[in-house]
Structure 1
Amino acid sequence: MERWSDDRFTEAERRELIDMLQSASTEQEIIPVLEDMWEKIQDEGLFSEAQQQTMIKNILDRYPGREFPVDKETGKGMHVGYRNSFIRKWRWAVASSVALIIGVGIYYLYQKKHAETPTGVVQSITNRQQGKSSVLLTLSDGSQVLLDTVKNGRITLQGGTIAKVTNGTLEYERTGSEVQYNTISTPKGKQFQLRLSDGTSVWLNAESSIKYPVVFTGKERLISVTGEVYMEVAQNPSIPFRVEVSGGTSVEVLGTNFNVNAYDNEQSVRTTLLAGAIRVAMKGAAHKLLKPGQQALTTTRNKPVQVLDDVNAVSVVAWKNGVFDFEDVPLEEAMRQLARWYDIEVVYQQTIPKVQLGGTIKRSLPFTDVLYFLSNVGLHYKLEGNRTLIILP
């Protein structure tokens, strides 16, 4: 279980553990471990009391004929803290469900009803490798470097520029006198980190790009991005930093941490501020000054910039830390994130199911584990050609 939770298990060990969790013969050995992990989830406050109530109810709903514990005085569901004895009484039910929750990244689902037989057999589906293509560095003369092939070392670029790659991060060591623009683009299923010549750090999510000068000159530091990027901008009040985003959105900063989500298949460009201050503008509309914890929504030109308060910024940038955070994320949006990372196409056979996801899941998990979760939370699906995931009614 420790190897599983730390992502140190092999595929064979994962399957063996799942078999053990489903076997009655190993129940007495595994239940104490699962109980300890369940208590750790409660102690660390990963879920609110209401969410814990929902999780326990959903667990018991999977076993017809079992009653949900009720406080005799109030007639309401008993507080989680007073139900330890009840949970242990039904620990055979908790064991199988907690194993699922922990195994796919501590997940929960707000829904009252679970499907009896999900469509699709996960065990027969081959793991998809995240991202068949490479992270590309395109130089100003059009030549390209496959950054995936450069482990830790130096590379000589156009015009005598020298850069180094250290643990997946590209950083320029020496630049020429001529102004040159480089572009880094990531395929589906891969991320990349870059340090610009002024010290600004940039994280690129899957299917994203950034165009930037090898060295900044002039009165401003100007770059352009597509897809999703998180940036920690080096402070230099005398040379403002500006980001141009596809669709006419622009972000101006002096020194700050922010995230821009500008995928073409999203309804709006979302710019979220974590620290400092930024001005977000859309051509033909007045700019808005953001404070930490706010998010700007921009759609089309001449439409005003909308500002949302009290946004969970940590959740927004969870991707750069290798995590999907689906807290309060609609199913359709979550599926778009999965499609970009696992290089799949998601098709809805009819209407989009009205389910609300929550919790987190590691982006390092193989696609089979994600499908295993979808099967167990009540979604019906079928996989065509190992690439098209069809969501059934």
Structure 2
Amino acid sequence: LKRSDNTTVQQAQVLTEDVKPGKQAATLTLADGRKIFLSDAINGKIAEESGVQITKDKNGLITYEISDDQSEPNSTNTLSTSRGETYQVILPDKSKVWLNAASSITYSTSLKERGEERRILLSGEAYFEVAKDRTRPFIVKTNTQEVKVLGTHFNVNSYENESTVKTTLIEGSIIVKPTISTNIKAKKLIPGQQADLNKSSLLIYKADIESVLAWKNGLFTFNEASVLEVMQQISRWYDIDVEYKGVIPDEKISGGISRQSDLKAVLKMLELINIKYQLENSASGKKIIINPQ
């Protein structure tokens, strides 16, 4: 195609082939700036720095082991996933972390910071199974809040393109402390509760545990979810952009499917509620276009 000024216009093509689901992959950035692409790294010891040994097992699991007493408390690593990736790590204190797509955690390799605190900086979404240690609180910090625990299981969803940060407690107890405003008071959660934090309030609800943990369990599970919520999850897992032509449909979606399904199988949910869409492939990448009804 040519415009009147004779510049070439790239025409989007209908995407005919299916889109494969995401995979177990991540990038580990070491304290010295080196990057390790974990899907390519061989099994066994992949790095050693500041008295901490990092290994990868046959299932892709990353484990930290403090190899001597000279571990450097200020040596930090970042584990990050792109869209279409997920990963799991065991930290030096034996806490387990599952990282969802388009997410990252940054942490001291010895997990010793600010004295006896175990601190993690999270962007995106992660599920934590925290090893119990009453003398060393475990703190997960996002851009808007801190979650303080001693030993527990919980999920934090803190994607920047979502309007609220959702913290869901599975086991134990946690304190959610907002950091965006001194007018929003910290609250303590009991198992089965979810804290939703926005710019002006921190509200506590009964959690839909099945839906919250679906990603960790290899599933998409929706219970009266909005089209926007569903498409955000699809976009992150299949590494595909979403464009809305006109008003975003207000239909609600319920159901479930494996995250190992190809994209077209997942999009059948839209067809069942008569939402029209098309798949395109252009110079900027793959895209789902949601059309007016």
- Contact between 1:243 and 1:252, CA under 8 Å: does it hold in 2? yes
- Of all paired residues, the percent bearing the same amino acid is 40
d(CA) in 2 for partners of 1:317 and 1:263? 16
Alignment of 1:321 with 2:213, yes or no, is no
Partner of 2:153: 257
Alignment of 1:216 with 2:111, yes or no, is yes
Alignment of 1:334 with 2:225, yes or no, is no
Partner of 2:39: 148
2:76 to 154, 170, 181: 181
Q: 1:151 to 1:317 in 2, by over 3 A?
A: farther
Deviations 1:84-120 (A, max 9, x none): xxxxxxxxxxxxxxxxxxxxxxxxxxxxxxxxxxxxx
Q: 1:208 to 1:237 in 2, by over 3 A?
A: same
Structure (1/2) with the larger strand percentage: 2
Query: Residue type matched to 2:65 in 1?
Result: E
d(CA) in 1 for partners of 2:48 and 2:263? 36
2:93 to 198, 220, 230: 198
d(CA) in 1 for partners of 2:221 and 2:267? 17
Alignment of 1:271 with 2:167, yes or no, is yes
SS in 2 for 1:387: strand
Partner of 1:241: 138
Q: Tell me, which stretches of 5 or more residues in structure 2 are unaligned?
A: 1-13
- Alpha-carbon shift at residue 190 of structure 1 (Å): 1.1
Structure (1/2) with the larger helix percentage: 1
Superposition pairs for residues 371-390 of structure 1, below 5 Å?
371-385=267-281, 387-390=286-289
Could you tell me the TM-score, scaled by structure 2's length? 0.85
1:362 to 258, 270, 275: 258
- Alpha-carbon shift at residue 160 of structure 1 (Å): 5.2
1:291 to 187, 190, 194: 190
Query: Residue type matched to 1:321 in 2?
Result: N
Q: 1:289 to 1:154 in 2, by over 3 A?
A: same
RMSD of equivalent CA atoms: 2.0
Aligned pair count?
267
Q: Tell me, which stretches of 5 or more residues in structure 1 are unaligned?
A: 1-121
d(CA) in 1 for partners of 2:24 and 2:280? 21
Could you tell me the TM-score, scaled by structure 1's length? 0.64
Say which is worse superposed, 201-210 or 358-367, in terms of deviation: 358-367
Alignment of 1:170 with 2:62, yes or no, is yes
- Contact between 1:131 and 1:187, CA under 8 Å: does it hold in 2? no
- Alpha-carbon shift at residue 158 of structure 1 (Å): 3.0
Partner of 2:30: 139
- Contact between 2:21 and 2:261, CA under 8 Å: does it hold in 1? no
- Contact between 2:225 and 2:254, CA under 8 Å: does it hold in 1? yes
